[in-house]
Amino acid sequence: MSTRGEDIEVRVLESTDNSVTILFRNVPLALLNVIRRYALAKVPCMAIDEVMVITNTTALFDEVIAHRLGLVPLYSEKALKKYRDPETCAWCGHAEKSEEPQRPPPEVCKECFVHMYLEASANEENIVVYSGDIKSEDPDVYPVYKNIPLVILAPGQRLILEMRARLGRGLEHAKWSPATVSVVKHVADISVYDERCTGCGECVKVCPRSVLRIDNGKVVVEKPSECIICRQCENACKQRALKVKYKDNEFILHVESSGALKASTIVREALNILIGELDNFIKQAMEWGGTSGGKEKREGASL
């Protein structure tokens, strides 16, 4: 699909903290697919990465509890600016530095890790340990949902844990993916031939997304962005008064958040990461061009 000479349009159709729906016109599908994938795999967020089991007399194995803790979404909006990846930390990771950094050892590096803990015990009755029982030393990093059940304690059982949370990406593990849904779909192009339409309403009845409605005895397309192009309406119309296809130059990006980050933040960070990688690619390409055959370096905009 070529979009040269055509005006690009970006319009937010719906936006909440947990989801965002954006219409793109005259934007290449490949570019939108990159944004979709980056939202799932490359946008960082906080998650519990290490669990130290001090006491566990419950019926669950240590690793089962640790796995459940890792999947608890942690609020990460402020953490993106406060913390860095252990992989890029001068002490924790593999970043090269000429001088030995004067920092604590990696197990207590406060620039990479957040210390959290959980302690619960049951006396005379069974109790349920929830995600809200997790305590964090950083008030800006905490479980998004307080009512996620982790384990049931029988009378006399006890659970004491220490945890460390850090930034990560979905490429490494799904627990670091801030987006639960990230999809790109075509915008439907629904044509209604009024001269054939009898207003029987069969197409309206079979539509699973309530895209169509009857107005003055004729079919009207009310919510084209909701159409999933299933063509049930087209197949139900005996008069062949409907034709459903998709537009080549219009797409909808829909992102839903786990709660760790706002949906708008996920899209923005995905774009920033993509732009950063493209800038790095252009820089390396210019350096390569400048050292091969003595060719002059070209400006980034003309590359």
Is the pLDDT at 241 greater than 90, yes or no?
no
What domains can you pick out in the chain, each with its CATH number?
A: 9-42+179-257 (3.30.1360.10), 45-176 (2.170.120.12)
**For 13-53, what is the HEC assignment?**
EEECCCEEEEEEECCCHHHHHHHHHHHHHCCCEEEEEEEEE
Is the pLDDT at 92 greater than 80, yes or no?
no
128-174 pLDDT tens trace: 999 999 999 999 999 999 999 999 999 999 999 999 999 999 999 99
267-287 pLDDT tens trace: 999 999 999 999 999 998 888
**How many whole angstroms separate alpha carbon 238 and alpha carbon 102?**
77
Structure confidence at residue 199 (pLDDT): 83
Higher pLDDT, 263 or 233: 263
Structure confidence at residue 239 (pLDDT): 85
Calculate the alpha carbon distances from 287 to 13, 283, 284, 292, 297 in Å.
42, 6, 5, 9, 7
Task: Enumerate the β-bridge partners of residue 129.
Answer: 151
Q: How does residue 4 score in pLDDT terms, banded at 50, 70 and 90?
A: low
End-to-end CA distance of the chain: give it in Å, rounded. Answer: 21
169-190 pLDDT tens trace: 999 999 999 999 999 999 999 8
Which are the contacts of 138, defined by CB distance < 8 A and separation ≥ 6?
79, 82, 114
Task: Enumerate the β-bridge partners of residue 168.
Answer: 45
* Closest of 220, 153, 230, 159 to residue 191, by C-alpha: 220
